[in-house]
Structure 1
Amino acid sequence: METGFDLDQAWSLHRQVALRPEPFGAMLYHFGNRKLSFLKNQIVVTILRSLADHPTARSACVAAGIGETSLPTYQKALAALARTNMICPREAA
């Protein structure tokens, strides 16, 4: 599955994005483009919280317990967040 999302790049939350924990998972709000995302998957929330602590998105996924067979699912989720500028390459954060 080709998502266009580079797991081997350093990523982080965009500097204008707030991640707020919620009982269902988390809410992401981008103060620049005013987009709102609701995350119901706790593993995705864990990955997002740790992106800045890892050299690549792949290592953040591995640290969250994602195995090789499940990686494409999370790559797709991260690609969707990148398309809406919720996350960005670290040097652009």
Structure 2
Amino acid sequence: MISIIELNRIMGSGFLPLACDCTVNADGSLCIRIFEPVSGRVDLLLTRVSPEGLDSIRSISNLIGELRTEIKAGRRGFAAVG
């Protein structure tokens, strides 16, 4: 996996005008929160995403596309992805 700083930068740019915050859980999985920056409304929250395979711009771009689809479908959160 690339650094969490770089992942946040790429993911953030992929969801504009929404904001995206990625953090690493104690077990090494990721917590991804996509939200409206002014109101703080959370559009999607994933609490246990496997970082496995998130090692290239292409793989992260594919994840962004999948998450955009979930947001459009009206889903708000998942326990695990990947």
Q: Shorter chain as normaliser: what TM range?
A: 0.3 to 0.5
Q: TM-score, normalised by structure 1?
A: 0.37
| Greater helix share, structure number | 1
Higher relative contact order (CA 8 A, sep 6+): 1
